Chains A and B, each alone.
Chain A
Amino acid sequence: GDSVTQMEGPVTLSEEAFLTINCTYTATGYPSLFWYVQYPGEGLQLLLKATKADDKGSNKGFEATYRKETTSFHLEKGSVQVSDSAVYFCALSPDTGRRALTFGSGTRLQVQP
């Protein structure tokens, strides 16, 4: 079945550091890929998405590129802020018409001033 694997956290960075959170997936065909963010006490929010190979999703300084050849969708940001501290989830939606999302286990990011 479909699966998503994320790097384990917590990831602790100083403000303005470069961020990479690795995400790889297993799925047949061409799934859509997503990054969601969960701030403390809040629901999941869509951060960015990509629906086909080589697409780059971007939002709020975060970027991720859909790499079909390596089945990856790594999240990057050039300069993190304390306000980026949250849990980040990589997810996929299959191209089979099934609407359910499959999530990774999440990566907690802690940014220190």
Chain B
Amino acid sequence: GAGVSQSPRYKVAKRGQDVALRCDPISGHVSLFWYQQALGQGPEFLTYFQNEAQLDKSGLPSDRFFAERPEGSVSTLKIQRTQQEDSAVYLCASSRDREVSTFGSGTRLTVV
């Protein structure tokens, strides 16, 4: 597609539930990033892939967060045993190597 596609757009989860958020990057983009944006704040880096390799996961806030990109294209961010503090917009971005990233519209996760 023409842009970075994220699904679902909105997700409501009960506390303790597991969720999976999907990102379809722009075709041919080798770099893929996940960011977390809390309400009223700027995005914060979570993790970075180059093709299928996860090169940086220093931003993942806990071991409940897990990301994968098994074939170097679509990526999934999984959050286990969701907590209220996980409520945020999760943004995916992709780029050709060392170029500026293009962002998706995000998935808004609300944990109730």
Selected contact of A105 from candidates B31, B41, B45, CB within 8 Å: B41
Q: Does A83 contact B (CB under 8 A)?
A: no
A60 within 8 A of B: no
B103 touches A43 (CB 8 A): yes
Question: How many angstroms between the C-alpha atoms of A46 and B33 in the bound complex?
Answer: 15
Residue count of chain B within 8 Å CB distance of chain A:
25
Which of A45, A49, A103 is within 8 Å of B43, CB to CB? A103
Contact of B105 among A34, A36, A43, A105 (CB under 8 A): A43
Interface size on A, residues (CB 8 A): 21
- CB atoms of A43 and B91 under 8 A apart: yes
Give residues in B with beta carbon < 8 Å to A: 3-4, 31, 33, 35, 40-45, 48, 55-56, 59, 91, 93, 98, 100-106
A residues with a Cβ closer than 8 A to B are 4, 34, 36, 41-46, 49, 89, 91, 98-106
Supply 19 A–B pairs (Cβ within 8 Å), ascending by A: A4-B42, A36-B103, A42-B105, A43-B3, A43-B4, A43-B91, A43-B103, A43-B106, A44-B93, A44-B103, A45-B103, A91-B42, A99-B33, A99-B48, A100-B33, A101-B43, A104-B42, A105-B41, A106-B41
